[in-house]
């Protein structure tokens, strides 16, 4: 999820229902209906998107056979079994998870998030999130504007992206920070910069990608570039990039390059999708750069081995600056590349 998303743009997650196996039989008049739509109408506990996810997760069976295609067409007499997830506590609980705190006062806290840490609870990640850690660290001082599942969360970065983010501890701070993120830094002090290691190298030293983004039609969990903001609910997305280092040569092209990306907007997966859109996906990005895996086979042995064990997108939120919502002071924070990312860059530097 840009790899940063303003909280107001984040859809609410569905709560899991009661733990049970529900059984239904398809009536004659229901024959031919799409599976997820039929299940939503018959069961009625969750939204269609939630039932679609349950189908894809293998939690639904027809005649004892697991069906994972939401567009499967039901037939008269089909006996359908649904594994309803066990209930979860709607309120996240404090958990003693170590945090790297860069800055903290009575209004806000700046965290250097490690890769692998989900920002807030949701399906598949009800515990072990940054929110759970913040509840333990901050107690009941977090802003309530984000709701019980996202207390204090003004913006977020992807689970497998590392780096800086700010969390509000008061409602006033939350409103002030949200206003800065909503303005995208165009008239205020907000700055967000990321380091990305990408396959190949852009043809120039710097550039801007202005390409609207929307949910992919092929996979609703992914994001895609669309023709215009009027297409499929597309949202404006602008990324400014600058190439910092080129690495080696593969045939006549650079093998990889280290690129700084600055966000003018904050859309889900923005940097990852934009860099892939111009032909330079992030190394390690299984969603948007999987077709570049063959390049790794042509690397020298050590670099190939390091890339092989790097199981996330090579993206790190290296800079975050904003105006303190209470004092008006301009706060600016920088984060060094984490160990796994630094090792990856060093391996390409040896080529």
Which of the residues are catalytic?
158
Can you tell me whether residue 89 is helix, strand or coil? coil
> Beta strands of the chain (E only): which ranges?
4-6, 20-25, 60-62, 65-66, 79-84, 101-104, 108-113, 155-157, 162-168, 191-199, 206-210, 213-215, 223-225, 238-247, 256-263, 315-323, 330-334
Which of 264, 287, 273, 289 has its CA nearest to residue 213?
273
Q: Give bridge partners of residue 242 from the DSSP assignment.
A: 206, 260
Cα dihedral 40, 267, 172, 320 sign:
positive
Distances (CA, A) of 191 to 5, 224, 240, 261, 280: 14, 24, 12, 11, 23
Cα 348 from Cα 351, distance rounded (Å):
5
Count CB atoms within 10 A of the CB of residue 335. Answer: 19
Query: Apex CA 234: angle with CA 166 and CA 277, to 5°?
Result: 80
Which of 113, 118, 121, 237 has its CA nearest to residue 166?
113
Order of strands, edge to edge, in the sheet holding 60-62?
A: 20-25, 79-84, 60-62, 65-66
> Beta strands of 273-328 (E only): which ranges?
315-323
Give one DSSP letter per residue of 203-249, joined into a string: SSSEEEEE--EEE-SS-TTSEEE-SSTTSTT-B--EEEEEEEEEE--
Cα 80 from Cα 21, distance rounded (Å):
10
Q: Is 75 exposed, middle or buried (0-12, 13-18, 19+ CB in 10 A)?
A: middle
**Is the Cβ–Cβ distance between 170 and 106 less than 8 Å?**
yes
Provide the token pair at 17. Answer: 């229902």
């Amino acid at each position: 999820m840009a790899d940063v998303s303003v909280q107001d743009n984040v859809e609410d997650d569905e709560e899991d229902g009661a733990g049970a196996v529900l059984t239904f039989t398809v009536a004659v008049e229901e024959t031919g209906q799409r599976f997820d739509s039929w299940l939503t109408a018959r069961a009625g506990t969750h939204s269609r998107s939630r039932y679609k996810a349950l189908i894809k997760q293998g939690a639904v069976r027809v005649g004892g056979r697991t069906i994972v295609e939401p567009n499967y067409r039901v037939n008269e007499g089909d006996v359908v079994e649904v594994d309803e997830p066990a209930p979860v506590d709607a309120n996240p609980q404090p958990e003693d998870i170590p945090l790297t705190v860069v800055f903290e006062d009575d209004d806000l806290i700046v965290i250097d998030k490690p890769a692998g840490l989900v920002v807030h609870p949701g399906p598949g990640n009800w515990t072990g999130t940054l929110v759970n850690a913040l509840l333990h660290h901050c107690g009941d001082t977090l802003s309530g504007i984000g709701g019980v599942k996202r207390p204090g969360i003004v913006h977020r970065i992807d689970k497998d992206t590392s780096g800086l983010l700010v969390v509000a501890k008061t409602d006033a701070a939350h409103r002030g920070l949200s206003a800065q993120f909503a303005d995208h830094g165009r008239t205020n002090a907000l700055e967000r910069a990321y380091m990305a290691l990408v396959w190949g190298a852009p043809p120039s030293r710097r550039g801007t990608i202005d390409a609207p983004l929307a949910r992919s039609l092929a996979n609703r969990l992914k994001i895609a570039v669309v023709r215009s903001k009027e297409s499929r609910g597309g949202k404006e997305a602008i990324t400014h990039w600058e190439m910092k280092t080129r690495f080696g040569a593969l045939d006549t092209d650079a093998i990889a390059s280290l690129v700084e990306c600055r966000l003018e907007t904050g859309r889900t997966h923005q940097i990852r999708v934009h860099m892939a859109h111009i032909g330079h996906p992030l190394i390690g990005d299984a969603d948007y750069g999987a077709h570049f895996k063959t390049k790794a086979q042509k690397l020298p042995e050590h670099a190939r081995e390091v890339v092989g064990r790097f199981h996330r997108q090579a993206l790190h939120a290296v800079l975050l600056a904003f105006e303190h919502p209470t004092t008006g002071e301009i706060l600016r924070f920088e984060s060094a590349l984490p160990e796994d990312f630094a090792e990856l860059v060093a391996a390409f530097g040896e080529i």
